[in-house]
Copies of this chain bind each other. A is one copy, B any other.
């Protein structure tokens, strides 16, 4: 599998002991290993390896090596609508950093904080790629994609209740965005957004055929 990003395992639901074994193996070989959706029981099995591992708790991400952003790439700006969207936004942001992208955050600028977007238009303009995480009505990507010339990657979250249907409502909003060109990820898939952003950035810096 040629994906251009380091090995990432999906930890959720996996046997904690098995995940630990893989980590010990990668640590012994001094290689980068990233885990996403690290639940409490998985982290419990990894915890005493803790000083050899980096753990982003909000992002539910664990890695053996620190991020090394590549300054030649354009900045990935991760935007979130509300406080409850943070885990997904953080997964996107931390992964983006781990994959080598300069990464910034602009959180909590959904309906209740929309005025902050106006204030931050400069940051939006300086960014190269926008990742936007939103639940409930999921309108933020439509809004931002109407203001910005950059590629917009939208990630629906399961924030909301009732007819939000665990993220289906914002997923549909994003797929049907009136502002054209919004690229959509699976509900809660901040990781996928980071991979797509990395592939875009890689295109900017490649010197030979992909």
Contacts and interface: CB of A to CB of B under 8 A. Distances in A.
Interface string A60-79: 00000000000000100000
Given A163-B175, A189-B162, A192-B182, A151 B200 contact: yes
Contacts of A169: 172-173, 175-176
Contact of A84 (B14, B143, B175, B204): B14
Copies of this chain in the oligomer: 8
Contact of A161 (B114, B164, B173, B188): B188
A114 B1 contact: yes
A183 interface: yes
Given A137-B178, A162-B187, A181-B196, A111 B172 contact: no
A138 B173 contact: yes
A147 interface: yes
A13 B148 contact: no
A113 to B, nearest CB: 8
A204 B3 CA distance: 20
Given A148-B210, A151-B199, A181 B192 contact: yes
Interface in A185-208: 185-189, 191-192, 194-196, 198-200, 202-204
Interface of A: 1-5, 8, 10, 12-14, 18, 37, 74, 81-84, 110-112, 114-115, 125-129, 136-139, 142-143, 145-153, 156, 158-189, 191-192, 194-196, 198-200, 202-204, 209-210
21 contacts: A1-B111, A1-B115, A2-B149, A18-B83, A110-B178, A111-B146, A111-B179, A125-B209, A128-B210, A137-B142, A139-B143, A149-B210, A151-B203, A160-B176, A169-B172, A169-B175, A175-B184, A176-B186, A180-B191, A181-B196, A182-B196
